[in-house]
């Protein structure tokens, strides 16, 4: 694919690395290729996996891609909570786990499957009166975020690893647009009368697009306009 085609409009699939924000990826490609770029669905900095980028005229289709169902794999740690519901912040409270059976974990996942109301995390990119919620949270301020309807079509527990003070629950989730997996981690802890947070997350699919098709940032960095390598596109 030539630079001219990318400037006109294509879809790029990127495997977002750990600690990069979605905006970091967008800005890097925008500056490297001098093209208009947008992404179809934010990933948290501590999440990895599939990010859909649209360039040029294809940015008009971002909402279409963003609306498609998402699939994630990851790990929920039961026995402790953090303010951000993931590893962005440190543990603020620990909880007993001796009462938690494997059956109760499977039952909790079942209770969080289907159409549910979800309270988004304060540590999120959601805008509150024009300001990103995570900026409010990092200042130490609090604000109530209204719940939203989301659909969890699959919440599969793939394995359970028990330690002395915590339980790691490996999962595979398929969900609708706007679902916060960190909020699912929080809610699982509440359902089983303990506390929990997300310690690992990877988005492996958006609609018909799969992570296996995505380029790494290392591959993208090699594909500057004067390079003989070509950027892989889809669509």
Q: Are 74 and 155 within one domain?
A: yes
229 part of a folded domain: no
Domain of 29, in residue numbers: 3-67+208-221
Whole-number pLDDT of residue 49: 97
Beta partners for residue 77, in sequence order: 168, 197
Whole-number pLDDT of residue 65: 93
Helices 102-111 and 181-191 meet at what angle, rounded to 10? 130
Element spanning 32, H or E = helix 22-33
User: Under 8 Å CB-to-CB from 218, ≥6 apart: which residues?
Assistant: none
Q: Which of 44, 63, 141, 165 is catalytic?
A: 44
226 part of a folded domain: no
Whole-number pLDDT of residue 146: 79
pTM for this prediction: 0.89
Ordered mean pLDDT values, 10 residues apiece, the chain (235 residues): 72 95 92 89 93 93 94 98 94 96 98 94 70 70 80 98 96 96 97 97 97 93 64 61
Q: Are 111 and 145 within one domain?
A: yes
Work out the angle at residue 168's Cα, subtended by the Cα atoms of residues 102 and 155, and round it to the nearest 5 degrees: 65
CATH number at residue 94: 3.30.2350.10
Whole-number pLDDT of residue 229: 53
Whole-number pLDDT of residue 7: 75
What's the first-to-final CA gap in the chain, in angstroms? 12
142 part of a folded domain: yes
Q: Is 208 a catalytic residue?
A: no
Q: Are 51 and 89 within one domain?
A: no
Q: Are 87 and 190 within one domain?
A: yes
Whole-number pLDDT of residue 8: 81
Length of the chain: 235
């Amino acid at each position: 694919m030539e630079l001219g085609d990318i400037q006109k409009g294509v879809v790029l699939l990127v495997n977002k690395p750990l600690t990069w924000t979605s905006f970091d990826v967008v800005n890097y490609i925008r500056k490297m290729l001098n093209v208009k770029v947008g992404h179809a669905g934010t990933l948290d900095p501590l999440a990895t996996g599939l990010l859909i980028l649209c360039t040029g005229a294809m940015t008009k289709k971002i909402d279409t891609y963003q609306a498609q169902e998402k699939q994630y794999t990851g790990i929920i740690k039961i026995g402790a909570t953090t303010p951000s519901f993931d590893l962005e912040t440190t543990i603020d409270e620990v909880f007993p786990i001796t009462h938690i059976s494997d059956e109760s974990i499977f039952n909790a996942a079942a209770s969080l499957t289907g159409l549910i109301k979800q309270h988004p995390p304060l540590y999120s990119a959601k805008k509150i009166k024009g300001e990103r919620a995570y900026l409010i949270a990092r200042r130490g301020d609090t604000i109530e975020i209204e719940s939203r309807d989301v659909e969890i079509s699959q919440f599969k527990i793939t394995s359970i690893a028990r330690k002395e003070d915590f339980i790691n629950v490996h999962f595979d989730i398929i969900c609708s647009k706007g679902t916060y997996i960190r909020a699912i981690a929080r809610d699982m802890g509440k359902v089983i009368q303990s506390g929990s947070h997300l310690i690992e997350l990877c988005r492996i699919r958006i609609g018909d697009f799969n992570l296996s098709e995505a380029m790494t940032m290392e591959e993208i960095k090699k594909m500057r306009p004067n390079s003989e390598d070509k950027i892989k596109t889809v669509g």
